[in-house]
Structures are given as C-alpha cells and as structure tokens.
Amino acid sequence: MANTENELSTQDRILNASENLFAEFGFDGVSLRKITQAAGVELALANYHFGPKTNLFLAVVRRRADELNEARTRALCELDASSSIEQLIDAFTRPFTEKSMRGGPGWKSYGRLIAQIANSPRWTEVVMASQFDPVARLFIDKVKLVLPSSAERDVYWAFHFLLGAMITTFAETGRIDQLSEGRCRSSDLDVIHAKMVPFLAAGFRAICDNGPTR
C-alpha cells in the first residue's frame, strides 16, 4: 500500500507542476525537465508515468475535465423542456465557477490553461472535442428543447458566444480590472457569474427565440 501511495503522490506532483507551468508558459514553453524540477522528481519518473510531453499535457487536461464534466452533466440532467434558458446556462457555467472559487489554486491554473487551449486550433480536435464535446452537445440538445423554435445553427452560434464569455472569465486575466480602474475585478467570479447568466440568456433569446433565420 505504501508503494502505491508514493506512486500516486509522485503522479500528482508531476501533474500539479505541469498544470502550473503549462498555464504560465504554454505547451511549447515548458520542457519535461523543467516540470520534473518543479515537481521535485527525477526526469525518468515523468517518462515512466506519462510518456511523451503530449501525453502528460493531455493527462493534465483530463484530470479536471472529468470532474468538471461530471458536475455539469449531473446539473443538466436535472433539467427538462420546462426549464428556463437561465437555468440551463447556470447548470453549464456554475460548476466551473464553484471549482475556480472554492476548489483550490489548481483550478485557477486550469482556467488559464483551458483559455490557451480553446484559442488554439492545434488543440481543437485532440483536446477540446475529445474532452468537452459530449457535455457541450448535451447542453445544446437541452437548449433546443427549451427554445424549440430556434434555428439549429443559431443555437450553435449562441453556444459559441457563451464559450467566449466563459473562457475570458475563468482565465482571470485582469483586463477588466485595469479597464474599469478597479471598479470591476476579474477575481470576483461569484459576482461575474450572477451577471453573466442573465446576459447570456438574453443573447440566446435574441438570436434563438425568434424562429428560424436564413
């Protein structure tokens, strides 16, 4: 049992160090040697547990994606056609808000990492589609039930805009802090979420709830 615990601890140390460094410098800006130095382990252990750097990168993404997707799926499955678009958006966005606010510092790094990945075509298929498409499609299917007169492509566009708002929010870049001269803070995720849900709901209704468009 002791060996197993040590092995898991080593993997977690490597994953945590990788997450922080990938979030800060990107995939290409970090070497396996730099990761293992930060984790305090031998380089050979990273190769042993994860293999090439790409495999380690995917393991970093999957670790929290699984937890996030489970929470989102559970929340979405509690809703039906009688639910409001606000409830759907809340079910999709609140799990990330909760984890980023109260799930520990690793979720802050994860938010920045996902922002990088989502804005790079390089990772669209291998990361975003494979890890996040199933729950995204569940959300989209629920929107079609709640807003049944929507043109299908308008639902996809609305989801596209939702992702843009989420990615900017959870990256916590500090841009709004500087622009507002401190009136708004990118770290106030609870406040942001309370404003983001009705904002996005209005957008969904504006382009999805007026019948099919050309």
Q: pLDDT tens digits for 30-41? A: 999 999 999 999
Q: What is the mean pLDDT of residues 92-112?
A: 93
Give the domain range for residue 116.
63-208
Give the confidence band of 125 by pLDDT, cuts at 50, 70, 90: confident
Same domain, 98 and 164: yes
Residues 168 and 69 placed together within one structural domain of the fold:
yes
Tens-digit pLDDT profile for residues 11-31: 999 999 999 999 999 999 999
Whether residue 204 sits in one domain with residue 125 = yes
Domain count, the chain: 2
Checking if the pLDDT of 4 tops 80, the result is no
Residue 128 counted as domain residue: yes
pLDDT at 137: 96
Question: In this predicted model, what pLDDT tens digit does every residue of 38-64 receive, in sequence order?
Answer: 999 999 999 999 999 999 999 999 999
What gap in Å lies between CA 185 and CA 176, rounded to an integer? 6
Determine the pLDDT at residue 129: 87
Predicted confidence at residue 209, as pLDDT, reads: 75
Q: Say what the pLDDT of residue 96 is.
A: 94
- Do residues 156 and 181 share a domain? yes
Model confidence at 76: pLDDT above 50: yes
Whether residues 18 and 118 share a domain: the answer is: no
Q: Which CATH number goes with the domain that contains 1?
A: 1.10.10.60
Mean pLDDT of 75-90: 96
Q: Which residue did the predictor score with more confidence, 193 or 8?
A: 193
Q: Based on the domain organization, do 159 and 182 belong to the same domain?
A: yes
Residue 56 lies in a domain: no
Does 172 fall in a domain? Answer: yes
| 12 plus 105 within the same structural domain | no
* pLDDT, position 105: 86
Q: Which two tokens stand for residue 161?
A: 């805009």
Q: Render pLDDT for 157-214 as a digit per residue (tens, 0 to 9).
A: 999 999 999 999 999 999 999 999 999 999 999 999 999 999 999 999 999 976 544 4
The C-alpha angle 201, 132, 194, rounded to 5 degrees, equals 30
Q: Tell me the Ramachandran region of residue 172: left when phi exceeds 0, alpha when psi lies from -120 to 50, beta otherwise.
A: left
pLDDT at position 210 is 63
Query: Is residue 124 domain-resident?
Result: yes
Q: Which two three-digit tokens encode residue 24?
A: 């800060």
pLDDT at 30: 94
DSSP-derived 3-state class of residue 181: coil
155 lies in some domain = yes
Q: Give residue-wise pLDDT tens across range 129-141.
A: 889 999 999 999 9
What phi-psi label fits residue 174: left (phi over 0), alpha (psi between -120 and 50 degrees) or beta? left
Cα(79)–Cα(142) distance, integer angstroms = 8
